[in-house]
Amino acid sequence: MTVSELFDSTIWIDYFIKGSFKEKIEKSEIFGLSALSLFEIRRKLLKNKELEKEEIEDRMQFIKKKSIIYNVDEKIADKASEIAEEEKLGAVDALIYATSILNDAILITLDNDFRGLKNVEIVG
């Protein structure tokens, strides 16, 4: 299965904290997600002291049901190193962006570090 959009962690975090992007996320569509974003999302949710561990697990399971999760492989790592150098992106951002490029998906994000890059949609 292929996806047309890969969500950056900022989209999921904003969805859970502010309730943004409900119409897009709650459709039946499946989105791409870098495995690195799972780390970023879980870490942010763990910092939110208002959430119980069970609530965090439920949210993470919801993300996994709505996503095709892409692990970092050699191709992504190679492409990300080129992108990081050319675009002056940090390692995690470069890996996430490389994941979207190599899977022919548009990266959907709130992160301005991606501004000006091809196949990126900055929302919000």
pTM: 0.92
pLDDT tens, 66-122?
999 999 999 999 999 999 999 999 999 999 999 999 999 999 999 999 999 999 999
Answer yes or no: CATH 3.40.50.1010 is held by domain 5-122: yes
> Contact, 8 vs 115, CB < 8 A?
no
Alpha helices in the chain (DSSP H): 9-18, 22-25, 35-47, 53-65, 74-87, 91-102
- Give me the residue spans of the domains in the chain: 5-122
> Can you tell me the mean pLDDT for 1-13?
92
- Flag whether pLDDT at 1 surpasses 80: no
Predicted local distance difference test score (pLDDT) of residue 59: 96
